[in-house]
Structure 1
């Protein structure tokens, strides 16, 4: 299980992934991206590597990965969990 909330991405080749850890982010970065020369992508690669060797806070590295995925329009909208749907239903009942 990952350390972060899962981020769903779809790579350029159509492969979908749920990324929730530094190791999964590293694997995703090795896949097909729109522009591997883009600054956010390079920053994410550098920070993920630094997090793996302990010289960067993993939360910062994961945020950089998320920013790179958003920059290249690879993120997919996350589906609501069953618990959130139940909470929405209950709060809707309370408002009426």
Structure 2
């Protein structure tokens, strides 16, 4: 599994894949997108290549990929798991501040 939380992408041809690493994102860019000429797609492609060369932070490249997939309506919305909901509920009192 990759470093990032997995994203479910469904391409125009109906195929889907989970993307959780830059290698996965690079493979996903080869799939059928709405527009490979769109600036957001080209930016993701450029940043992923730069991250693989070590001149861009992987998180920045992955976020650019996620943005491209969202804008081209390929990204499935994700629900928080029950474990994350429980953790959020446990941590909420730690971040609650008493206001005057």
**TM-score category, normalised to shorter length:** 0.7 to 0.9
Distance 1:42 1:58 in 2: 16
Unaligned runs of 5+ in 2: 91-100
The count of corresponding residues between Structure 1 and Structure 2 is 89
Structure 2 partner of 1:24: 24
Distance 1:74 1:43 in 2: 16
Structure 2 partner of 1:94: none
* Per-residue CA distance 1:44-74 (angstroms, 9 max, x = gap): 0000011111111000000000000011000
1:71-82 residue pairs with structure 2 within 5 A? Answer: 71-82=71-82
Structure 2 partner of 1:39: 39
Root-mean-square deviation over aligned CA pairs = 1.7
Normalised to the residue count of structure 2, the TM-score between the two structures is 0.81
Write out the 4+ residue segments of structure 1 that deviate beyond 3 Å after TM superposition.
none
Distance 2:84 2:20 in 1: 19
Unaligned runs of 5+ in 1: 92-96
